[in-house]
Structure 1
């Protein structure tokens, strides 16, 4: 069996960067399993090595100040209750991700050790000195506080990985890299909303920034479209000012009114005695309604198009080209009172709107709302 590789670094940043390159080269991934208190944050110039035992690494004295251990992400499951996937309440429940196994922890023994400590400078003579003399010299140097921390990293051989795939296929089980998640957030802030464009930019970013080219099967650096889309959605959610969608909608509509002063935007939030109601008509919609809405107007409702059980109504007219939406509204309840109120708001902002015919489906509530609003109009029923 091949021996583990031990490397010395002058800073923690160099050490972590080397570990990342090792992960890309071997198509492996490690997670932090243990870190001693204050690791990587030791201040130089102070005596912090009192009562520390001198160790020997590669024939040189070394005083250890801290330890950090990285386990293979397929290692032992130290938190079985947190990592286990809870089954659904009903076997016939739909939705959610299908998981072939409860956890990806398989008990792999491979781990990376990083030791933080103090060593003699390279200029100090090593030969012709006994171990006791070298240890005494290191203790004297540490007592002065004039030292710099160094880091020893022990990388496991690939043969140490057990119970899971290694090589080019092992990247299929890796989660997306945190750096890519931050890059997705930046690109979403810049206005990138297309998944194909996001995937192209992420690929270019990986090839430009990584010292080692990752394997094409690595989901850590080349995630699939579903993963990219989910993180884009999460990035959009972080820009919201509240977890309450109604509050976010109110803030969005206030900005919308400032940017589009000629649009009709009406929002009434749900209260103790008031019902929720949202009405919208852009200036372009208003122009089409005035031009084509006096002959025939169509009213249609859609269902199950949003995550809320709220009906979405569209006012539609036939133009010289096709059918166009000229207004929309969302009431809290689907009844004639709510529909009539929404149509009245649209009519108040369109005083010249007086259709000769109205088309709707076989719904008594919609028929009653339009008869009350346009008593002289001819109602045409569309049987669905």
Structure 2
């Protein structure tokens, strides 16, 4: 979600390919760039994961010399193909809120960036099939659904600013329209 862009090289190659295709006398492809904001764009925060393998038979290595000797023994045993008693550990470091503060907001305001929850999308489609097509009525039904079915406990409910569970009227209108179109297409196909 946050961190460096791992697809930067692929994106650069794609841009160069598009520029090459559009540079000739007869451009073969046209691409319209869709500008959409991203949460991770320019954020330096990242999750660090380290995997450590501990060899149980070599626990008592306190001095530098004993560690070096144990390391040589383990290396030789692995080269011979021996199986050693070991355990794997993963150490995870999660970024703090201060790591994000320089590039984007964190906290309750980030609820404005969330897309609509998939369960609510299904509920909108279900309600449209039952004849609910007004935004005001849909908003009332979804609020009841969120507060009774998805989050019955008041302590676990998301804040009202989280647009994934409390969408705007414009968002609801668009989803209602999409469900109506989907239903009309399904009835025309049948």
Separation (CA, whole Å) in 1 of partners of 2:164 and 2:6: 21
* Runs of 4+ residues deviating >4 angstroms: 74-84, 111-115, 151-155
Match of 1:159 in 2: 98
Q: Secondary structure at the match of 1:176?
A: coil
Asked which structure has the greater CA Rg, the reply is: 1
Extract unaligned runs of 5+ from structure 1: 1-70, 87-101, 118-128, 140-150, 253-384
Structure 2 unmatched ranges of 5 or more:
16-30, 60-83
- Give deviations 1:139-197, integer Å, cap 9, x for gaps: 9xxxxxxxxxxx99764322232411222222222222222212211222222222111
Q: Paired residue for 1:317?
A: none
Partner of 1:104: 38
How do residues 202-351 of structure 1 correspond to structure 2 at under 5 angstroms?
A: 202-208=142-148, 209-210=150-151, 212-241=156-185, 248=188
Question: In structure 2, what is the Cα distance between the partners aligned to 1:114 and 1:230?
Answer: 40
> Structure 1 residues 169 and 192 mapped into 2: Cα distance closer, same or farther (>3 Å)?
same
1:173 aligns with 2:98: no
Match status 1:131 vs 2:31: no
CA distance in 1, matches of 2:91, 2:144: 33
Q: Deviations over 1:79-112 (max 9, x none)?
A: 76799426xxxxxxxxxxxxxxx53353223456
> Does structure 2 conserve the Cα–Cα contact (< 8 Å) formed by 1:171 and 1:220?
yes
Question: Using a 3 Å threshold, how does the CA distance of structure 1 residues 168 and 75 change in structure 2: closer, same or farther?
Answer: farther
Q: 1:132 Cα shift?
A: 3.6
Over the aligned positions, Cα root-mean-square deviation in angstroms equals 4.1
Q: CA deviation at 1:138?
A: 5.1
Aligned length: 137
Structure with larger RCO (C-alpha < 8 A, sep 6+):
2
Structure with the largest fraction of helix = 2
Q: Which has the higher strand share?
A: 1
Q: 2:162 & 2:145 partners in 1: Cα distance? A: 15
Specify whether residues 78 and 202 from structure 1 end up closer, same or farther in structure 2 by C-alpha distance, changes over 3 A only. farther
Q: Is the 8 A contact 2:55 2:87 kept in 1?
A: no
Matched residues in 2 for 1:153 and 1:189: separation?
46
